[in-house]
Amino acid sequence: MGNSEDGEKGDKQEPLKRKAYESELKELHAELVKVQLWAKHTGAKVCVIFEGRDGAGKGGVIKAITERVSPRIFRVMALPPPTEREKSQMFIQRYLPLLPAAGEIVIFDRSWYNRAGVDRVMGFCGEEEAKKFLAATPFVEKAIVESGVLLLKYWLEVSEEEQTRRMESRIDDPRKIWKLSPMDLESYSRWYDYSRARDEMFEATDTQWAPWFVAQSDDKKRARLNIISHLLSRIPYEEVPREKIKLPKRQKPHGYVEADYARHRVPARF
């Protein structure tokens, strides 16, 4: 599987201006709301997986998708390390209860593909375990798809230079320092180990029923717009008929006087 989609721009483009980005994103958000209403109306089940290198921008894409929709329908899953009990289970087992029910869109911020990536590269599983996972996963995903789930898998790819720039920017930024754990630093040093693991993952799990879609994410704004646009193109949603909304009249006070109920107020510091 290659690292480009049909129609991908080959030449480096100028950075997208914020005004243009926000204008495009606003239109895409309106379509995502339509997806939400359609899923709730039809009982559709959508599962979206985001994988990629550290610093590739998965969190930003997920935030862009979910910031204008209901978290009760667009549910984001980012699992902690497995418990001792979960370690003894079939690897994919703890993810299965989190798959969407009718009317839900579940987004995995990393997924069962941890076994093919970080677990394999960092030595949390053996080579035999990783290969068994890669052999079994297409069949598990086929069962998921045949159960009625629309499964979409995205890999965000970032260049070595841009990954370095983003990782360095986290060092002195108190908002981002939590993203630099010892394991993140160790992972950063293993660029080509991750490349080999990614290539084998694509080879084994890029199937007709659950293909991988790759997005180059050096330009974060363009990546977000491209991914959301592509996501919308893969979901067969339709606009659900709705009655025009009109606000009702408020009730009259009938003698009510506002009480000084707030004994503890938040200071107006700004």
Give per-residue pLDDT as tens, 211-248. 999 999 999 999 999 999 999 999 999 999 988 999 99
Q: Looking up tokens 């997806």, which residue turns up?
A: 35
Domains and CATH numbers, the chain: 18-234 (3.40.50.300)
User: What's the mean pLDDT in 97-124?
Assistant: 96
Residue count (the chain): 270
* Residue 189 pLDDT > 90: yes
What tens digit of pLDDT does each residue of 15-24 get?
889 999 999 9
Classify residue 204 by its DSSP letter: H
Burial of 223 (0-12, 13-18, 19+ CB in 10 A): buried
State residue 34's pLDDT score.
98
Query: Is the pTM of the predicted complex or chain greater than 0.85?
Result: yes
pLDDT band at 258 (very low <50, low <70, confident <90, very high): confident
What tens digit of pLDDT does each residue of 134-165 get?
999 999 999 999 999 999 999 999 999 999 99
Question: 85-89, 112-116, 143-147: which range is least confident on average?
Answer: 85-89
State residue 115's pLDDT score.
96
* Cα gap 238→80, rounded to integer Å: 35
State residue 11's pLDDT score.
59
The dihedral over CA atoms of 117, 118, 121, 122, expressed in degrees to the nearest 10, equals: -170
* Cα gap 224→58, rounded to integer Å: 9
Residue 207's CB is within 10 A of a number of other CB atoms, namely 16
